[in-house]
Structure 1
Amino acid sequence: MPADEQPFPSVWTRPQSQRREQPALSREQIVSAALELLDAEGIDALSMRKLGTRLNAGATSMYTHVANKDELLELVVDEVYGEIEAPATGDPAGWQAAITRSAHSMRATLLRHPWIVSVLGEAGLAYLGPNVLRLSDAMLAVLEQGGFSLKAADQAMNTVVAYIIGASTSEAAWLTTLARSGQGEQQWADRLWPTALQAVEGYPRLRRLYAEQRAQSLSDTRDDDFGYGLECVLHGVAARLAPHADL
């Protein structure tokens, strides 16, 4: 069925091909090559033609599995989500710790593949992918076991994920800029420092803040900032569950 004739144009809603002959390429090969290309060159480098050249394959071999670039991105996004550690149930009182571990795993995964943050809102029905569904259901299970209703668990999960993606988007943009510059994070900071000091000369609080941060590792600072924000989000979510609890 052509993509423009599907009820919803998505790789997850398109019926699988009934061709009897074995296609020259597997879906796994196509997704793996696309992921390598995206990690190496970024989202702007991805095209069906370039991927075909990379695989030394014609369009027919690829179009057996994906109708277009949008469907390909749905598959690759789901492949990346397969790297995220899903939280495990078992301790109702430990839901915050379980969600925290999964949140840190999600952030680390997004930063390993920084191109992904630019397509998360555009990747069609990516949320119907098996790895996305696996992660979502596991998070809901942990929250439900921790005392949330299913609706409240869904709202809490969406809030936590929105924070992770929002924070990771800024970090990914920064890391992408660094990669393009060919400089290390600390090297970039050292070169920028005199200009930054001059810029905040008339702003006493920023000047003090910059001075305090000067000796800190930028990577450690990013880790600390993410952890602090995540803790605030989870405390807020917990307060909605038990408004009178001593948090």
Structure 2
Amino acid sequence: MPVDDDQPKQTIPSVWTRPQRRKREQPTLSRDQIVSVALELLDADGIDALSMRKLGTRLNAGATSLYTHVANKDELIELVVDEIYGEIEVPGPDTADMRTEWRSAVTSCAQSLRSVFHRHPWIVSALGEAGVVSLGPNAMRLSEGMLAVFEEAGFSLEQADLAVNAVVSYAIGVSTTEAAWLSRLARSGLSEQEGVDSLWPAAEQAAQAYPRLRRLYATQHLQDSGGTRNDNFGDGLDCVLDGLEIRLRRTRGAAD
């Protein structure tokens, strides 16, 4: 079937790909106001409680004012997620000698991402609904900053891209799991240690047929759970960075 070149090409629906609507008059609400109040609602009640109607009520605004900036809830989630990404501390390549300090810079950024996810645990659910997250300005700033760090360290741009994906995937993977756990604790009213202790009998029983897990659980049960999570995140990140450092040495060796 012939393709009609005059037909507009379809794209993935996103607030970042949709042409902005022309405003015939000065809107009473700004996009920043909408995103700020939506973030307050999400932090207070979680993603399931967010609706355009509730947001409009909180803003004392009608649907027309909201839809000037966002076409639907999906676009709203994209905007709020990018707002969260703006809280992540991104090191600049000129803040240190990245040939020697790149690991420290990457670690700081990964730890900042983890802290942001802990502050906004609802993001665990939102990421599955956030659409084209990577095109948001704050997500772009994060990617550009991390690419710069790795490139200044000696990676090629293509290698830097792979390195950023590896680090961010690790940090997001661990952080979403932790955020889900912390959210469950918050709903239960238990402290983290109380939550671990309440699960211990079931975990001990489930591990009876698995000697390695049994030994591992027994050791972990004696440790401070919050401290263990922090140490495990750092140790796991070091494993990722160790592998990247080996690749960097090969790159530098080849260049020499």
| Structure 1 and Structure 2 fold alike (TM over 0.5) | yes
Aligned with residue 187 of structure 1, among 185, 190, 194? 194
Aligned with residue 50 of structure 2, among 32, 46, 56? 46
Q: Which moved more, 1:44-53 or 1:94-103?
A: 44-53
Tell me how far 1:60 sits from its aligned partner: 0.6
| Alignment of structure 1 residues 173-184 onto 2, 5 Å | 173-184=180-191
Tell me the residue number matched to 1:242.
Answer: 249
1:197 aligns with 2:199: no
| Alignment of structure 1 residues 40-79 onto 2, 5 Å | 40-79=44-83
Which letter maps to 1:49?
A: R
| Alignment of structure 1 residues 73-88 onto 2, 5 Å | 73-88=77-92
Tell me how far 1:223 sits from its aligned partner: 0.7
Tell me the residue number matched to 1:233.
Answer: 240
1:27 aligns with 2:31: yes
Structure 2 length-normalised TM: 0.87
Which letter maps to 2:174?
A: A
Q: Which moved more, 1:61-70 or 1:48-57?
A: 48-57
CA distance in 1, matches of 2:26, 2:187: 41
Tell me how far 1:102 sits from its aligned partner: 0.2
Structure 1 length-normalised TM: 0.90
Gap change, CA 1:198 and 1:14, over 3 Å in 2 = closer
Tell me how far 1:63 sits from its aligned partner: 0.5
> What is the count of residue pairs matched by the alignment?
242
1:115 aligns with 2:122: yes
- SS of corresponding position for 2:127: coil
Tell me how far 1:128 sits from its aligned partner: 1.0
Tell me how far 1:171 sits from its aligned partner: 1.0
Tell me the residue number matched to 1:143.
Answer: 150
Tell me the residue number matched to 1:157.
Answer: 164
CA distance in 2, matches of 1:67, 1:99: 36
Tell me the residue number matched to 2:3.
Answer: none
CA distance in 2, matches of 1:184, 1:5: 52
Which letter maps to 1:101?
A: S
Tell me how far 1:121 sits from its aligned partner: 4.4
CA distance in 1, matches of 2:234, 2:19: 42
